Structure 1
Amino acid sequence: MLSCWSTMTMITFSLSTTSSRNHTDQLALLAFKSQISQDPLQVLNSWNTSLHFCQWQGVTCGRRHQRVVKLVLKSRGLAGSLSPYIGNLSFLHTIDLDNNSFRGEIPSSEVLGRLFRLRAFVLDNNSFTGELPSNFSRNLDSLGLSGNKLSGTFPKQLCALQKLITLQLRRNNLTGENMLSSKLPPSIYNLSSLWTLGLTMNQIVDRLPSDIGRTFLPNLRELFIGGNHFFGPLPSSLFNISTLEVLELSRNGFTGKVPDNMGNMQKLRVLSFSRNNQLGSSGRADDLKFLSSINSTVLRVIQASYTSNIPQDIGKLNNLQVLSLRNNNLSGRIPFSINNLARLLGLELHHNNFEGVIPNTSNLQSLLELDLSGNKLNATLEQVFGQTSHGLLYAYLADNSFTGSLPVEVGNFEYVVDMDVSNNYLEGEIPNTLGKCLSLQQLSLMGNSFRGSIPPSFSSLQGLKFLDLSQNNCSGEIPMFLQNLSSSLEYLNLQPKAFFKMQVPSQYLGTTSFVEASLSFNFQHARSSSKSASETSNLFGTKSGTDETQKTSLYDHYERVSFLELHRATDGFSPANSIGTGHFGSVFKAIIREGTEPVAVKVLNMIDHKASKSFMAECEALRNVRHRNLIKILTACSTVDFQGNDFKALIFKFMPNGSLEKWLHPVRTDDERYLTENLSLSRRLNIAIDVASALDYLHNQCETPIVHCDLKPSNILLDEDMVAHVGDFGLAKFLQRKNTNSGTTDTTNSFSPRGTIGYIPPEYGVGVKPSTQGDMYSYGVLLLEMFTGRRPTNEEFEDGPDLHRFARLPCVKR
């Protein structure tokens, strides 16, 4: 009996202990949830006591002990900080929070050290700050921290993780102290188990070891070191790593010639050398000879920067899917052997010096993108559209010397999304068969000699967003069916070399459908008896009361910007290129096209249902205004991304001195100049005058007054001369004047509070509609913040005086 009782006691104790440990896991998960500030997809709704935690979304438990072994919540739109209580999930072997908006520091080394079973720690593409963590389990085989804002040097402790297979630290390179710097510890090359090494977009200054392929990294499959400051020649031994599948060396300072022994890498899938300006720049005919040595049967992508001719041997790379040799000084003819690349999906040869005819492309039946723009090709387009696969999605042939007509065969490309044949020597009538291209979203025929009228078949292009027929010899009336396309059409340019002699259909007078970009009509039009001259001029973009004599098109600098261009210019909208966030999106610095100035790209977060309205509001406001103290919009992009999701972005002139917020409240993670340079009293006064001038223009000089609704330091941008520009019109409101003594009032019947707490007037919180007086209240708060250095939401004002009362206090009491 005693033995039986003892056994039962032991069983009871064991069950109790297991239950206690399970409870520990549950509390740790709830602590994790408590630090989440945004959950747009409501993935954590299941995290409640009505379900066992092993059934919560993103949680996986082991079968034996019912303890948490995996926490996987990638790409869920989560925002917040990472709770240190994850250290209590002692059975955890995988945590994957890739592609969210977590911020703050990664839990301490002490916390991570308790996860001794951890094998995968993946936090890529978030906004974590602080030092790179180092105290990981020796069982770790995958470490992903790319696309964050981590700082400090490379921890030597990571080089001791002998089971590490994947090490991703790409894109942690803001400015100031937020960068990996100087050389890598030599011991990193001793990680013999490593399959993937990703260090792209940091500030590493180093050479690759001369014997890298003989002594080090014998099992390496993927090497990403682009966007650093590696220098010197490429070691010949690098190409002895027979396991290598991806070699990404772009945007560095490598010099000399690429060794010809690439034939050793027979598993190579991706090869990128682009933007190494001194690599293969001798101008010798054999600079691209290394392509002839490639024996890989699986090569998919080549990106290179060279001065040479493309060798005929390129045609032997039978499995090549993307060939990108753009923005080089390549010359001569495009080799006819290109037609042997039957699996080619993308051919990017734009902005080189290729000349002559286009080789036969009839065998390229998988081709999705053809970009030959910016060369000296002088063939007829029959050679292109008569041979190329009808499955083509993107056709870029602009800025060449193509002659002849646009052939009727163009109608066979029913899936084409974007077609650009601008700035050539094309003539004849626009073929009616273009109306068969039902997927067409962007069409540019500008800068040619087309004649005749707009084909009636264009009425079938219900998804058309961008249409540029300017600088041609077209004639006739604007067709009525363009009015039916107004729900999709965002940019329409019919400006000819000579004025059109046509009448404007009355339906266009007063229409507000095309609000996302400028209408660049330039023709003689008949006035409608039902509309005033001022209303008509407003439609076509002329304004009075501005400090510029003529309003220019939004597309003056970037006539067309595609999602693909923006994706490339921002390195896939990398957090490393982020320069700010707003209510409905993020802002990135980008150079969209070679030789142009940097721009600011505001990408709307379309998960938020209000983002689309914000985009429309900002386009509507900025297309109608011009003032030296307002942010200058260059163009807009409204399309779909690679997954077919809605994509909207605004492109602005870049402001090199950032926002007023960063100058008033510098923090350690910002550019160091905000810490070392202070705003003088005179500069603060000038900025205040600039902002007042912008508000005066918006409130009193526009035909329809505009209320900004979100005036605050982060929305005041400073150019290279420290001149202030008011930006972010995503919450702007148009008002209509009334003949009352109360000034301007909003005529809408509904209103939800707009703006940022602390800056908007209190009455907005109880339903009072936006007004110019509301903006002036925000301006007053801004002035107090500029001259006291205190935010209106500072903690010191929670239980004490507010910012207004604080400003009245004598200096001695502050």
Structure 2
Amino acid sequence: MHKKMAELRLLNLYLISSISFKLIIAFLILKLTGSIIFAEAAHLGNDTDKLALLDIKSHLTDYPVDVFSTWNDSLNFCQWKGVTCSNRRQRVIGLSLERMNLYGNLSPSIGNLSFLQALDLSENSLDGSIPPEIGRLTRLKNLNLSFNSLAGGIPGNLSGCYNLVNVSLDHNFLKQQIPWEIATLLKLERLYLSNNNITGRFPASIGNLSSLQEIDVSYNDMEGEIPGTIGSLTNLTLLYLALNHLKVLDISMNQFGGKLTSSIANLSSQLNWLNMYGNSISGSIPEEIASLVGLNTLILAENLFTGNIPTSIGTLPNLQELSLGENHLTGEIPSSLGNLTQLLELYLFNNSLEGSLPSTLSNLKRLQDARFCHNRLNGTIPPEFISLRSLTITLNLSHNSFIGPLPAEVGNLKFLTALDFSQLSVRIPDLSRLRGLEYLDLSANNLSGQIPEYFANFPSLMNLNLSYNNFEGEVPAAGVFKNGSAVQVYGNNKLCGGMPQLHLQPCPEKDIGRPKKHVNLKLILAPVIVCSCLLLLFFSMLLLRSKSLLRGANFPKSSFGRVYPRINFKELHDATEGFASKNLIGAGSFGTVYVGTLGPGEVPIAVKVLNLQQRGASKSFMAECKALGNIRHRNLVKLVTVCSGTDYKGKDFKAFVYPYMSNGSLETWLHPEDDLSQDRNLNLLQRINIAIDIASALQYLHHQCEFPVIHCDLKPSNVLLDDDLTAHVSDFGLAKLLLRFRGEAYPSQFSSLGIKGTIGYIAPGERVWHGKPCINSRDVYSYGILLLELFTGRRPVNEAFKDNFNLHNFIKLALLDEVLKIIDQSALHEEDLKDDCLRELNKELMIDCLVSILQIGIACSSENPQDRINMMQVVHKLASVKESFLGLVKTIDSSPESRNIESDEQNEFDKCPAVI
């Protein structure tokens, strides 16, 4: 029995051992087979990633050579530039090619990178549409395609990327509406869609994004209601809706009246940035806004708000920026604003606020920027407030009704950079201690006496406006007064001297040592009184007569801030002889320009009549009104007045009236018709002066205006020349106003959206709005091309310039050769280059001057906006070139006659016709 049991045990052990061995063998075989299959799958996946990357590269039409220098078989694709792979599977999980100057389309093969978690192609020049295949990237967490030129719509199947946390599609040309499917991205925390052409309504489904912390859809064309569901975004910290066409914020979901409802309190208390600038929201600002205790930025400017400023705003403990400008607010400034002890910026300009400045504002010990201009404020200015030492950026109290002298404490603001006290009609104290000022406007104050000499000692002053006062005597010649374009003194009829650009009468020579004639005052007193009475009677009758002729016309304040004389259609019709074809002097995209004469003195004028049938003409009208309404510079065309009414047929009529520029546009001088080619040649000095004039105008627009202005369409046909060939920048129909928030610049609503400017003067792959650098994208690039055209006579659009070869590249290459060959020969008179006069001139130094000018043009027209210099640098560099150029001509002749050239620049070239 025991023997049988033992045998059975041995048999069981054998069977178990045999089965275990077979199982082990089977497991090893399966494992080996699985490894082979997995390895083959991994290899196949790797090949898919590599092929996808190569296809992405093939869809690019242009890129720097070094970007893809590693993208070849000499390296594993995981070591290619911009590619990141996972350690285990060697699959692509990251593709980062931002700021690589890439041109072309985004390949649909992007959807084959199935393990991709991060895609960053921002700040390039990609165009075309976003491929819908991108919706297959289920592992994608971060998507950044911002600052490109992508068009089309946002693909709805982006919802397939359900792991997305950050989406940045801002600063493109995307259109259509936001797809409702985007609300299925439940992990989404940040959504940036600003600066596109997105239309339609705000999707109500956005309220499902419970993780959303920041949403920026500013600078689009969205309209309609902001849905109440947005109130359920309890984690929201940033809500940026500026510059759309939104009319209603209906957070309560049951009110539709275009008002900011009181249920705004439903928004998260964590919200720290609320920006609704530039919409059409009306009604009053609700007191309940104070429930947003986390706010540090509240921007409601340029809407249609009415009523008083809520006193409850003063209870927002963390508020650092409060912007309520450009509304219709009334009442007094609440004293509770003095409780905002963290406030850095306070903008209440362009409202109808009344009363005095509350003394509690002196509690704002951190306030750096304060703007109260264009209101109805009155009373005296609290000295405690005006002496806040924290004011270091701007203090603007202009265009109000304050009384009494300004407190002398304003002299303590020695670090302030911009001070605007224009049109206050108050006595201005001693400002000699404000050595940090860059911008000072004291215009229209009835100030008298001589211009204070201490203005010439301000080391940083770049613009000084003393216009429309009663200053008298000689204009100082030092400091800022050495730059005629940086000083405005018109409207002071008793001033004399100064720089030639000020166009003032020379001061009379002082009589020294000459004996005085003694006369009997009694003999001349009686005739003087009689003559004075007769003259007074004559001018009184003349004044009554002129009032009768003007039919009681007055000078109303326009909606864009300046006072202009009224003019109607009939007056312009008569001035231009019925808009006769013989008076037609130009035509553009938005209208036609006629020459005419106005008034009893038959003053020559140019009348720009807008074609209101042209799409965008009305926006162009408002753009030009707002751009020219508050800017004044000798190198900007002056807006005499505007006409907005109806013609004889009852149709809408809009026109601008400008001074007539007798020498036409720069275009006609650089590219004259055959019959004018002999009469319209600009010498080198004239071209340098014109270049400086244009640069000075842009420097003023970009850096010296209260709100920077971008012209957006700078070209020779928009530069007009007066009798003295002084250049004036004109045609602001595409201009864009920039509002500064936190030191950056953002475009204002009145810009002519959708208009791109003129081909040849726009940077390739231009990024439309990139905060402050957008100035470099538009005007600086255009100026660079114009400068190259000015000195070479070559248009930027030319049959010789194909593909990526342009005027910029042509000049850059040509500088390596003889520079005189590329300079406009009408400026050099090449046939005279062999004369003795030119041999006396240091030819190498002249070439150096020309090379310096062309290098400035090349620097301005660089493809990368960050590589471009700004207009302040341009003005400084050109001034140095001009100084060198003038010094160069002084070497032509050592005779006493040639040493008197300082009195008249043009005489410097009379000795050497070859140069002119």
TM-score by length of 1: 0.59
Q: Is this contact kept in 2: 1:317–1:341, CA < 8 A?
A: yes
Between the aligned partners of 2:104 and 2:752, the Cα distance in structure 1 is 16
Q: 1:257 aligns with which of 284, 291, 297?
A: 284
Q: Secondary structure at the match of 2:53?
A: helix
- Correspondences of 1:348-497 after superposition (within 5 Å): 348-359=371-382, 360-365=385-390, 367-377=392-402, 380=405, 383=408, 385-388=410-413, 390-404=414-428, 407-411=431-435, 413=436, 416-455=437-476, 457-458=478-479, 466-472=486-492, 478=498, 493-496=501-504
Q: 2:142 aligns with which of 120, 130, 145?
A: 120
Distance change in 2, residues 1:87/1:356 (3 Å): same
Between the aligned partners of 2:419 and 2:75, the Cα distance in structure 1 is 53
Q: Is this contact kept in 2: 1:577–1:589, CA < 8 A?
A: no
Counterpart check, 1:236 vs 2:262: yes
Between the aligned partners of 1:71 and 1:385, the Cα distance in structure 2 is 56
In the alignment, structure 2 segments of 5+ residues that lack a partner are 1-23, 249-257, 511-682, 697-719, 800-807, 812-821, 832-842, 855-916
Deviation string, structure 1 residues 204-261 (Cα, Å, up to 9, x no partner)? 4433456753xx2222222223322323222222223212222222333323222212
- Correspondences of 1:557-568 after superposition (within 5 Å): none
Q: Secondary structure at the match of 2:689?
A: coil
Residue type of the alignment partner of 1:397: F
Cα RMSD, aligned residues only: 4.9
Equivalent position of 2:240 in the other structure: 224
Q: Secondary structure at the match of 2:126?
A: strand
Counterpart check, 1:302 vs 2:323: yes
Deviation string, structure 1 residues 491-525 (Cα, Å, up to 9, x no partner)? x84134x565699xxxx99565433354999xxxx
Q: Is this contact kept in 2: 1:707–1:733, CA < 8 A?
A: no
Distance change in 2, residues 1:15/1:574 (3 Å): farther
Counterpart check, 1:514 vs 2:533: no
Q: Secondary structure at the match of 1:614?
A: helix
Equivalent position of 1:194 in the other structure: 212
Q: Is this contact kept in 2: 1:417–1:440, CA < 8 A?
A: yes
Counterpart check, 1:95 vs 2:124: no
Which has the larger displacement, 437-446 or 242-251? 437-446
Q: 2:747 aligns with which of 559, 562, 570?
A: 570
Distance change in 2, residues 1:570/1:460 (3 Å): same
Deviation string, structure 1 residues 20-64 (Cα, Å, up to 9, x no partner)? 544543443343334334547965556556665555554444444
Deviation string, structure 1 residues 363-400 (Cα, Å, up to 9, x no partner)? 34253233333334456566464132x33333333343
How many residues get paired?
573
Between the aligned partners of 1:547 and 1:438, the Cα distance in structure 2 is 32
Equivalent position of 2:110 in the other structure: 86
Equivalent position of 2:356 in the other structure: 333
Counterpart check, 1:273 vs 2:300: yes
Q: Is this contact kept in 1: 2:290–2:312, CA < 8 A?
A: no
Q: How far off is 1:320 after superposition?
A: 1.5
Q: How far off is 1:104 after superposition?
A: 0.8
Between the aligned partners of 2:694 and 2:115, the Cα distance in structure 1 is 61
Distance change in 2, residues 1:44/1:420 (3 Å): farther
Q: Is this contact kept in 2: 1:301–1:322, CA < 8 A?
A: yes
Deviation string, structure 1 residues 463-517 (Cα, Å, up to 9, x no partner)? x9734344446766557xxxxxxxxxxxx84134x565699xxxx9956543335
- Correspondences of 1:406-805 after superposition (within 5 Å): 407-411=431-435, 413=436, 416-455=437-476, 457-458=478-479, 466-472=486-492, 478=498, 493-496=501-504, 513-516=688-691, 518=693, 554=728, 570-571=747-748, 578-580=755-757, 582-585=759-762, 605=777, 613-617=784-788, 708=795, 710=797, 734-736=824-826
Q: Is this contact kept in 2: 1:579–1:588, CA < 8 A?
A: no
Between the aligned partners of 1:255 and 1:439, the Cα distance in structure 2 is 42
Q: Secondary structure at the match of 1:113?
A: helix
Q: Is this contact kept in 2: 1:381–1:407, CA < 8 A?
A: no
- Correspondences of 1:8-27 after superposition (within 5 Å): 18=42, 21-27=45-51
Deviation string, structure 1 residues 432-477 (Cα, Å, up to 9, x no partner)? 4445543443333333344454545418989x97343444467665
Distance change in 2, residues 1:106/1:240 (3 Å): same
Equivalent position of 1:324 in the other structure: 347
Between the aligned partners of 2:168 and 2:751, the Cα distance in structure 1 is 15
Between the aligned partners of 2:41 and 2:751, the Cα distance in structure 1 is 46
Q: 2:94 aligns with which of 65, 70, 79?
A: 70
Q: Is this contact kept in 1: 2:52–2:110, CA < 8 A?
A: yes
Residue type of the alignment partner of 1:494: L
Q: Secondary structure at the match of 2:95?
A: strand
Q: How far off is 1:329 after superposition?
A: 1.8
Q: 1:184 aligns with which of 202, 209, 216?
A: 202
Select the structure that is richer in helix. Answer: 2
Q: 2:181 aligns with which of 154, 157, 182?
A: 157
Distance change in 2, residues 1:440/1:193 (3 Å): same
Deviation string, structure 1 residues 709-754 (Cα, Å, up to 9, x no partner)? 6379xxxxxxxxxxxxxxx9x999744289999xxxxx999999xx
Q: Secondary structure at the match of 1:230?
A: strand
Equivalent position of 1:148 in the other structure: 172
Deviation string, structure 1 residues 676-705 (Cα, Å, up to 9, x no partner)? xxxxxxxxxxxxxxxxxxxxxxxxxxxxx9
Between the aligned partners of 1:107 and 1:428, the Cα distance in structure 2 is 70
Between the aligned partners of 2:86 and 2:433, the Cα distance in structure 1 is 60
Between the aligned partners of 1:153 and 1:309, the Cα distance in structure 2 is 41
Q: How far off is 1:602 after superposition?
A: 9.9
Q: How far off is 1:132 after superposition?
A: 1.8
Q: How far off is 1:105 after superposition?
A: 0.7
Identity %: 28
Between the aligned partners of 2:350 and 2:45, the Cα distance in structure 1 is 60
Counterpart check, 1:35 vs 2:56: no
Between the aligned partners of 1:425 and 1:366, the Cα distance in structure 2 is 26
Q: Secondary structure at the match of 2:205?
A: helix
Distance change in 2, residues 1:454/1:353 (3 Å): same
Distance change in 2, residues 1:21/1:289 (3 Å): same
Deviation string, structure 1 residues 131-177 (Cα, Å, up to 9, x no partner)? 2211121111222223322233332211222222222333333xxxx
Q: Secondary structure at the match of 2:338?
A: helix
Distance change in 2, residues 1:313/1:163 (3 Å): same
Q: Is this contact kept in 1: 2:768–2:774, CA < 8 A?
A: no
Deviation string, structure 1 residues 507-565 (Cα, Å, up to 9, x no partner)? x99565433354999xxxxxxxxxxxxxxxxxxxxxxxx9998978626899xx99956
Q: Secondary structure at the match of 1:515?
A: helix
Between the aligned partners of 1:357 and 1:236, the Cα distance in structure 2 is 35
